[in-house]
Amino acid sequence: MSIPRFQRWKSAGAIALAVVAFGATSAQSRTTPAAPSAIGQRDADAVKVLQRMATFVSGLSSFRLAMDASWDVVQRWGEKLEFGEQRMVTVRRPDSLRVDTTDRDGSSEVLVFDGRQLTVYRSAGNTWGSIALPGNIDQALQVVTGQLGMRMPMSRMLGSGFGSEVGAWAHTIRSVGTSMIGGVACDHVALSGDWEDVQLWISQGAQPLPQRVVVTYKRAEGHPQFRAQIRDWILNPAVPDSTFQFAAPANATMAPVGSMLPSMQPAVPALGAKP
């Protein structure tokens, strides 16, 4: 039985990342699992790890990364299925962003922002659109996720306010231990809020980068998860202007950007909000 496209994104709009970072592949913990903590406990060491990561990422002038993501979708008949995508992200602060997405079904999307306009291309339907959007990345994300209805998993990490937002929604934050993710020693931090549980694996050492994230929507039917792994970080590269320019294929059809964006992304509630 083939699965209708909309059921790839359903599941109470819950299966994507609206938090801080990403990651996926197995985490091999070297320590005994942490004991359950009391509601409202915020472990000082865990909070310090989160803030150190946020400060470091926010301070990068530019970066590139790859993200392998998967999410569960509970079908109307109760079966839970997994779908996924790969994203290649390039950021040049304060005003340039490019996201290339390849879905497991083979379709692809491109989003480019250059401080003056936002351009979107979708291989499915071979359509593209562009709107004037002067400003910086923060302002562009506000328009994309707000006015246009697009939900970007990594939007909080890309914005300049990442340091002040990380973990603010959680009532419980605790350290789990040290884990190896892709051969990198990481601090495993668990956060819990009213609607979501989030696990983050953050690399130890001089470059505290998010390597893996798991989000569990514990109040959604079937407790679906979003899982992702961030890899191939390149920090402060010299990114040419051409990276943020997009030339549509000669046979592509132009379409309103507003009609394209909602179909590109799963609907994702803000962490701490009811799905």
In this prediction, residue 250 has a pLDDT band, given cuts at 50, 70 and 90, of confident
Collect all residues with Cβ–Cβ distance below 8 Å to 151 and sequence separation of at least 6: 16, 18, 145, 265, 266, 267, 268
Domain 13-261, CATH class in plain words: mainly beta
For 9-13, 122-126, 205-209, which range has the lowest pLDDT when averaged over its residues?
9-13
In this prediction, residue 258 has a pLDDT band, given cuts at 50, 70 and 90, of confident
Q: What number is the average pLDDT over the span 39-43?
A: 84
Mapped onto helix, strand or coil, the DSSP state of residue 32 is coil
Q: What is the pTM of this model?
A: 0.81
- Tokens standing for 135? 């400003």
What is the amino acid identity at position 127? T
Q: What number is the average pLDDT over the span 40-46?
A: 91
What is the model's pLDDT at position 193? Answer: 93
Domain positions in the chain: 13-261
Collect all residues with Cβ–Cβ distance below 8 Å to 72 and sequence separation of at least 6: 11, 15, 80, 81, 82, 222, 224, 225, 226
pLDDT in tens, 158-196: 887 776 677 888 999 999 999 999 999 999 999 999 999
Rounded Cα gap, residues 59 and 54, in angstroms: 8
- Tokens standing for 43? 């472990």
Percent of the chain whose pLDDT exceeds 70: 78
